[in-house]
Amino acid sequence: MTGSKGAAKTGTASTSTGRDVDVGALEEAMDEVVETLAVAEQAAEFVRDRSSDPDDRARAAAVQQQAEAMLDAAEQVAGERAAEEEASPPPPSGARPGETIH
């Protein structure tokens, strides 16, 4: 997920209610979530290392651990998606990646 800026694919997908979803915007939103998790992890580490309150340190450690787990999961999913994209055949002529020609 991280590192995909500038290489975002464009396209839309329709939901079951007929609404279009901008896939590029979804990818950007996920990148922002990952960035936010990274900041939360750093902030929690700061609090854990500098706070004099044992309860705050414990809470910060729990937040840091949760943020790390979520970042690890996001990294794993991003790696799996990249592997799937490399293994998938190219789209039909005239189609953008991620879109289907009707």
For 26-72, how does the pLDDT look when each residue is reduced to its tens digit (9 = 90+)?
889 999 999 999 999 999 999 999 999 999 999 999 999 999 999 99
What confidence score (pLDDT) does residue 98 get? Answer: 61
Distance in angstroms (rounded) separating the CA atoms of residues 45 and 74: 20
Residue 36 structural domain: 17-87
33 occurs within a structural domain: yes
Inside any domain, residue 93: no
Asked whether residue 102 is assigned to any structural domain, the reply reads: no
Instruction: Kindly report whether the global pTM for this prediction surpasses the value 0.75.
Output: no
Residue 43 within a domain: yes
Type of residue found at 40 = A
For the chain, the domain total comes to: 1
- Is 8 among the domain residues? no
- Is residue 94 in a domain? no
What integer best gives the mean pLDDT of the chain? 83
